[in-house]
Amino acid sequence: MFFLKYILRNLFRHKLRSVLTIVGVAVAVLAFGLLRTLVGLWYSGAEHASDTRLVTRNAISLVFPLPISYLDRIRGVPGVTSVSYGNWFGAYYKEQKNFFANYAIEPRGYLELYPELMLSPKEKNDFFLDRKGCIVGERLARTYGWKVGDLITLKGTIYPGQWEFVLRGVYHGKEKATEERILLFHWSYLNEAMRQTVPRRADQVGYFVVGVKKPELAPEVSLAIDSLFKNSLAETLTETEKAFHMSFVSMTEAIMVAIQIVSYMVIAIIMVVAANTMAMTARERIGEYATLKTLGFKGGHLGGLIFGESVLISLCGGLVGVAATFPAAHWIELELAQYFPYFSVSSETILLELAAALSVGVVSGIFPTWRGATIRIADGLKRIG
């Protein structure tokens, strides 16, 4: 108890210096936690991908389409339970800044394959029956104030023109990680327009979504599908949904590595700052340490006092940083909803934040602890007065 009381007394002897150090550690820990969360979210799509869904696309690139005639042949592959298809539409709402994911899909099979997109039976049926109908995620509807029955007009980029849709349903995700910023509409609506305007682009899809009976069959089914279309004009590449998502993530892998490096650099910088603060504190108290030694305190006792103060300051900053992480994440989730479907801080990130704060305290306290513990009484007493 004596040592703890002594440490607490020393902690705020220089109030401004201690408060600024705590704030510095808190800001560093907060930045570290938010950057780590951002990196985790970047990979969340792949992590939450279904083990029983495959994606079949053109072997050259996703940019190149596949004939719709492939549908029945894929459906006949052993182990396949259901097949649907879709096209990336690439349109925006009113202005180019209002851009979000939108797909032309085959409704019944698609929603069967994606049970995490939850609609009421009425909304689902209305969507099925209206070829100009569309459904959107709850977050997207909230962003633009859309309600069921509204007329939504998108401006096409890949498929030029003004495209009108009637909102027939607003889905919500089964889990928090489910993407709720997507607009889905009938592929047949798009295909009919292509037949009338650009016939060569009709009867083509961007990808097929394939359901398999169990995850163990995924490699076998993938090989079987790709073998069907080997040496054709449009060869296919079939991969798990997770691998499909990772192919997009890999395009920005360098950015994610850079963000991770920055997160660690933030901690390294505050380590240096905290170490300088503790070294300054130890230098100012050399005379006190020498006096304590004359009273019978051992080097280990002094080392424990100095080291404990360093760790306690860092942990205080770490706890403040952890506490600030939750409101900061909530603010990001509200203000940047267009970019982040959710910004949830995991328990692993919290533990890493606390570990980072503890590391700052340990590293910054090593040199001052050594200096205070090994000071000679005569050298220390020279500093008094």
Which tens digits make up the pLDDT trace of 310-337? 778 888 888 888 898 888 887 877 666 6
> What would the two tokens of residue 206 be?
């961007």
Instruction: State whether 100 and 26 are in the same domain.
Output: no
Split at pLDDT 50, 70, 90, the class of 361 is confident
Radius of gyration from C-alpha coordinates of the chain: 30
Mean pLDDT of 99-111: 93
The residue out of 181, 206, 234 marking a domain boundary is 234
The pTM score is: 0.71
Let me know whether 40 and 64 are in one domain. Answer: no
Domain interval for residue 293: 2-44+252-381
Per-residue model confidence as pLDDT tens digits over 242-261: 888 776 666 666 777 777 78
For residue 50, tell me if it sits in a domain. no
- Residue 14 is predicted with a pLDDT of 73
Both 192 and 72 in a single domain?
A: yes
Residues present in the chain in total: 385
Q: Would you place residue 289 in the very low, low, confident or very high pLDDT band (cuts 50, 70, 90)?
A: low
**Nearest-angstrom CA–CA distance, 218 and 237:** 13
- Per-residue pLDDT reduced to its tens digit, 135-189: 999 988 988 999 999 999 999 999 999 999 999 999 998 877 788 889 999 999 9
The reply to whether 190 and 259 lie within a common domain is: no
pLDDT of residue 118: 92
Looking at the domain assignment, is residue 246 inside a domain? Answer: no
User: What's the average model confidence in pLDDT over 21-32?
Assistant: 86
CA 26 to chain centre: 22
pLDDT(85) > 70: yes
Within-domain flag for 245: no
**Does a structural domain hold residue 86?**
yes
The residue among 234, 262, 286 that closes a domain is 234
pLDDT at 223: 94
Q: Are residues 155 and 33 in the same domain?
A: no
Give the model's pLDDT for residue 48.
Answer: 60
Q: How many structural domains is the chain composed of?
A: 2
Pairing label, strands 182-186, 101-105: parallel
